[in-house]
C-alpha cells in the first residue's frame, strides 16, 4: 500500500480556509483502517462534533494523510526522573527502543518531556510529507500509534496518542490554533513577567486585567488565592459555572502560585469542560475570518415545535441553526457542505420555511438554480437530533414541471390539509409564463396543476407578482396576482384554491374600491380585522404627489376599502421609502405592520402600525432601539422567538450584527439581545 491523502472535511478553497493536515506515525499496512477510524473518532466526531469546533467547522479543511510505517507502533524512551517528574533538567535516559516508522517520533510518557519527542530525522520527514501531500497546510495534527496517554501542542502543531480522548486533542488545538496557555498547575511558583498568552496573567489590578470585561462587578478580585485555587474569597454565588464564570484564580501556566487563570476549570486545564469566555473568544477571533459566517442570510422558523421561532443562518456551503429559549439563541446544529440524504449546500441556495409535513415543526425547502449545471429542489426535515436531513430531492424536473433559473416559489397550504405546499411561477425562461401547484404529502411533492400562459380569467405576463393568503377563510391558501407594467393599466386578481385548481373570484382592472392602481403599488397580505379572512394592505410611495396606504378588507369574494391614509397614519408621517412587514404586534389576532424607513429622514425610524380592525395607530423609535443603531443595511424578519400569542418579534440583522427586538404593549419596541459577529451567550461581558 502506498502513502495517500484524502480530504475528509471540505469547507472551501484552501486559500480561504485554515487547512489541517493529519499525519499518522507508527501505522503499518495492516493499521490503516485503525488509523482512519481513529481520525474519525477523535477529530471529526470528537473535536469537530463538540462546542466551539462544531460551531466553527466552516473555517477548516481537513486532509488525512496515510503514511505507511515499516513497523507498527512507535519508538520508546524511558527516563529516570529522579523523583522530580515536573523538572526535566535532572532526567537521564534509561533506555531507547527505536522502530522504523514514517516519522520517527519517540514516545516517553513523561510530562516533563511533553510526552514525546522528535527523532533525528523527524522534522525532515514531517516537512517532506507536508510538502508532498498538503503544501498549503496551516496546522498539523500527528497521531501516534501508541496506547499510552499523551498530548503536546504549540506553534500550529498538535500531537496525540491513540490512548488520548478527543478532549485532549481539543486542548492541544487550543495551543496550536489559539496560542492558549495551559491552565493546569504543577508544584512550583512563577516568578517571570507578564505572559503573552491571553488566558494567564500576573496582573491583579481589576481594571487592567486582560479579561476584565468578562468579570462580573460582583465577583471579587482576587477570586481564589493559594495553590491552584478555586473560589475561596467569599461564598461562591448560586448558579456559578466553574468553566464559564470569570474571575482571577491563582495557579495556571503549569505553576501553582504566582500566576493567575480566568476560571476554575476550562478546557485548557481539565480538557473536557468547554473553553471559557476568554479562550472561546480567542479561538473565535483567530478563525472567524475564515468561516465565511455573516448574518446576512437569516430565516426564522420553529424547527423543534416548541412554539418559539428559531433561526437558520446560511453562509456559503454551510448552515447553522440556533434555538430560541424565548430570550436568547443557542447553537443546536452546524453542518458544512452537505446533510444526510445528500443535499450539498452552495452560496446561491434559496430557502423556504414552513411545516411541510404537518408535524408541528417547520421544515426547509431549498432550491438552487445557479451553482450547478441543472436546477435542484430539496426537502429537508428534522433528523431527530436537532438537525436536518434530506428526504426528497428533485434534479432538473419534478413530473409535470421542468425547473428553470428564474422559478419563484411561494409557501402556501393550498390544499388545506395542514401541510404547507408550494406555488411556483416562471415568467421569463420560456416562451410563455407558467404557474404550478406543488402539493406536499410530507415526504415529497407532486404537481397537481399547471397553468400554461393563462389562469382562469387571467392572462399571465412576465411581470406578474404573486401573494399568498386565505382570502375566503376556508383554510386553503389562495393566490393573489398583480401586474402593473405589462398592460396599459394595472390588474389585480383573487384566485381561489379548491385544493387542486384555481378559479378567479374577483379581478380588478385599473381600480380597486377607492384605490386607483399604479405600477409601483406594493401589497401586503394579512387578516387586519381578525375575521379569519386575509385582507390586503396596499402602499404607494412614488407615483402620486402624496403617499397612500390602503386597508382593503376581504369579504371572501371581493375587496372593500376599510380605510385609506393620505400622507399620514396617526403617529407616522409616511414617506416614499417606507418598508412594511406584516405581523401581529399586540397578539390580538389582527394583522399589523412593522414599518421601517432609513432613506427619507436624517435619522432612521422603526415603528409599528397596529390595527384595531378598521384603522391603524402608530408608534416608533428614532435611530436606536436600545443598543441597536438602526442603519441602511438592516434586514428584518418578523417572527415569534418569545413563544407568546401573536407575532410581535423581529430579528434584525446585517453583515456583522444580529439583534432580537420585541414589541411590548405599553413600552413599544425594545431590544432583547444583541450579537456581534457570532452568537454566543457570555455569562458576563461580550466580545466587543
User: Using one digit for the tens of pLDDT, what is the confidence trace for 57-70?
Assistant: 999 999 999 999 99
Give the pLDDT of residue 111: 86
Asked if 522 and 593 touch (Cβ cutoff 8 Å), the reply is: no
From 107-116, 288-297, 442-451, 532-541, the region with the lowest mean pLDDT: 107-116
Bridge partners (DSSP) listed for residue 508: 492
Task: Please tell me the distance from the alpha carbon of residue 151 to that of residue 157, in angstroms, as a whole number.
Answer: 11
Which residues, other chains included, contact 367 with Cβ-Cβ below 8 Å and sequence gap of 6+?
349, 350, 352, 375, 376, 377, 378, 403, 407, 409
Whether the pLDDT of residue 563 is over 90: the answer is: yes
Q: What is the CATH number of domain 4-177?
A: 3.40.390.10
- If pLDDT is split at 50, 70 and 90, which confidence band does 152 have? confident
DSSP for residue 525: E
> Which set of grid coordinates corresponds to residue 546?
402624496
Q: Specify the pairing of strand 60-66 against strand 75-80.
A: unpaired
Give the pLDDT of residue 619: 97
Task: Please tell me the distance from the alpha carbon of residue 332 to that of residue 344, in angstroms, as a whole number.
Answer: 20
Give the pLDDT of residue 291: 97
- If pLDDT is split at 50, 70 and 90, which confidence band does 319 have? very high
Where in the chain is CATH 3.40.390.10?
4-177
Asked if 540 and 520 touch (Cβ cutoff 8 Å), the reply is: yes
Bridge partners (DSSP) listed for residue 548: 540, 566
Mean pLDDT of 414-441: 98
Task: Please tell me the distance from the alpha carbon of residue 481 to that of residue 475, in angstroms, as a whole number.
Answer: 19
> Which set of grid coordinates corresponds to residue 224?
481564589
Whether the pLDDT of residue 346 is over 80: the answer is: yes
> Which set of grid coordinates corresponds to residue 637?
424578519
Task: Please tell me the distance from the alpha carbon of residue 261 to that of residue 266, in angstroms, as a whole number.
Answer: 10
Task: Please tell me the distance from the alpha carbon of residue 628 to that of residue 652, in angstroms, as a whole number.
Answer: 9
Mean pLDDT of 27-46: 97
Residue in 63, 251, 27 with CA at minimum distance from that of residue 145? 27
Burial of 192: CB neighbours in 10 Å, binned 0-12, 13-18, 19+? exposed
Residue in 579, 586, 524 with CA at minimum distance from that of residue 547? 579
Task: Please tell me the distance from the alpha carbon of residue 54 to that of residue 64, in angstroms, as a whole number.
Answer: 18
Give the pLDDT of residue 112: 85
Task: Please tell me the distance from the alpha carbon of residue 112 to that of residue 84, in angstroms, as a whole number.
Answer: 9
Whether the pLDDT of residue 154 is over 80: the answer is: no
Residue in 50, 9, 18 with CA at minimum distance from that of residue 318? 9
Amino acid at each position: 500500500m502506498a502513502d495517500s491523502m484524502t480530504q475528509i472535511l471540505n469547507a472551501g478553497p484552501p486559500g480561504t480556509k485554515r487547512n489541517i493536515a493529519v499525519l499518522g506515525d507508527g501505522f503499518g499496512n495492516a493499521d490503516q483502517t485503525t488509523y482512519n477510524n481513529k481520525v474519525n473518532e477523535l477529530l471529526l466526531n470528537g473535536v469537530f462534533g463538540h462546542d466551539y469546533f462544531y460551531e466553527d467547522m466552516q473555517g477548516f479543511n481537513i486532509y488525512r494523510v496515510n503514511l505507511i510505517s515499516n513497523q507498527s507502533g512507535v519508538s520508546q524512551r524511558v527516563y529516570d526522573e529522579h523523583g522530580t517528574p515536573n523538572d526535566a533538567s535532572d532526567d537521564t535516559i534509561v533506555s531507547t527502543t527505536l522502530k522504523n516508522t514514517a516519522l520517527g517520533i519517540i514516545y516517553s510518557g513523561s510530562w516533563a518531556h511533553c510526552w514525546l519527542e522528535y527523532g533525528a530525522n523527524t522534522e525532515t520527514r514531517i516537512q517532506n510529507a507536508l510538502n508532498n501531500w498538503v503544501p498549503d497546510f496551516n496546522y498539523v495534527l500527528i497521531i501516534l500509534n501508541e496506547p499510552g496517554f499523551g498530548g503536546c501542542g504549540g506553534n500550529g502543531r498538535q500531537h496525540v496518542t491513540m490512548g488520548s480522548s478527543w478532549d485532549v486533542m481539543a486542548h492541544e488545538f487550543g495551543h496550536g490554533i489559539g496560542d492558549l496557555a495551559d491552565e493546569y498547575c504543577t508544584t512550583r511558583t512563577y516568578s517571570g513577567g507578564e505572559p503573552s498568552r491571553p488566558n494567564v496573567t500576573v496582573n491583579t489590578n481589576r481594571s487592567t486585567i486582560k479579561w476584565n470585561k468578562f468579570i462580573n462587578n460582583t465577583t471579587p478580585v482576587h477570586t481564589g488565592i493559594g495553590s491552584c485555587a478555586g473560589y475561596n474569597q467569599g461564598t461562591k454565588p448560586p448558579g456559578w459555572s466553574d468553566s464559564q464564570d470569570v474571575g482571577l484564580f491563582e495557579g495556571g501556566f503549569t505553576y501553582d502560585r504566582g500566576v493567575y487563570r480566568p476560571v476554575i476549570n476550562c478546557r485548557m486545564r481539565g480538557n473536557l469542560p468547554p473553553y471559557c469566555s476568554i479562550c472561546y473568544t480567542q479561538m473565535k477571533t483567530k478563525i472567524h475570518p475564515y468561516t465565511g459566517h455573516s448574518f446576512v442570510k437569516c430565516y426564522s422558523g420553529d424547527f423543534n415545535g416548541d412554539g418559539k421561532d428559531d433561526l437558520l443562518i446560511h453562509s456559503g456551503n454551510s448552515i447553522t441553526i440556533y434555538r430560541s429559549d424565548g430570550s436568547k439563541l443557542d447553537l443546536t446544529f452546524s453542518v458544512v457542505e452537505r446533510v444526510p440524504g445528500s443535499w450539498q449546500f452552495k452560496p446561491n441556495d434559496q430557502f423556504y420555511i414552513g411545516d411541510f409535513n404537518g408535524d408541528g415543526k417547520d421544515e426547509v425547502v431549498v432550491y438552487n438554480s445557479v451553482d450547478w449545471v441543472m436546477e435542484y429542489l430539496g426537502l429537508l426535515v428534522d433528523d431527530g437530533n436537532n438537525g436536518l436531513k434530506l428526504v426528497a430531492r428533485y434534479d432538473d424536473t419534478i413530473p409535470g414541471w421542468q425547473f428553470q433559473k428564474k422559478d419563484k416559489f411561494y409557501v402556501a397550504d393550498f390544499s388545506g390539509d395542514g401541510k404547507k405546499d408550494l406555488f411556483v411561477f416562471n415568467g421569463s425562461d420560456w416562451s410563455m409564463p407558467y404557474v404550478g401547484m406543488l402539493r406536499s404529502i410530507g415526504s415529497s411533492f407532486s404537481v397537481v396543476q399547471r397553468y400554461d400562459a393563462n389562469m382562469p380569467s387571467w392572462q399571465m405576463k412576465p411581470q406578474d407578482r404573486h401573494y399568498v393568503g386565505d382570502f375566503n377563510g376556508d383554510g386553503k391558501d389562495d393566490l393573489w396576482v398583480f401586474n402593473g407594467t405589462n398592460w396599459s393599466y394595472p390588474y389585480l386578481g383573487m384566485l381561489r384554491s379548491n385544493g387542486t385548481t384555481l378559479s378567479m373570484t374577483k379581478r380588478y382592472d385599473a381600480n380597486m374600491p377607492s384605490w386607483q392602481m399604479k405600477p409601483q403599488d406594493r401589497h401586503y397580505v394579512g387578516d387586519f380585522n381578525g375575521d379569519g379572512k386575509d385582507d390586503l394592505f396596499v402602499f404607494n410611495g412614488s407615483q402620486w404627489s402624496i403617499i397612500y396606504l390602503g386597508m382593503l378588507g376581504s369579504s371572501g369574494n371581493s375587496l372593500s376599502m376599510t380605510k385609506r391614509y393620505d400622507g399620514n397614519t396617526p403617529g407616522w408621517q409616511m414617506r416614499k421609502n417606507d418598508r412594511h412587514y406584516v405581523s401581529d404586534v399586540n397578539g390580538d389576532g389582527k394583522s399589523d405592520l412593522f414599518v421601517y424607513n432609513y432613506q427619507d429622514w436624517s435619522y432612521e425610524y422603526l415603528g409599528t402600525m397596529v390595527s384595531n380592525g378598521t384603522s391603524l395607530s402608530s408608534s416608533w423609535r428614532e435611530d436606536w432601539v436600545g443598543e441597536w443603531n438602526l442603519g441602511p443595511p438592516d434586514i428584518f424578519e418578523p417572527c415569534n422567538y418569545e413563544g407568546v400569542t401573536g407575532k410581535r418579534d423581529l430579528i434584525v440583522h446585517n453583515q456583522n450584527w444580529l439583534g432580537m427586538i420585541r414589541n411590548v404593549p405599553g413600552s413599544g419596541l425594545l431590544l432583547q439581545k444583541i450579537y456581534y459577529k457570532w452568537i454566543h451567550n457570555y455569562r458576563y461581558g461580550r466580545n466587543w
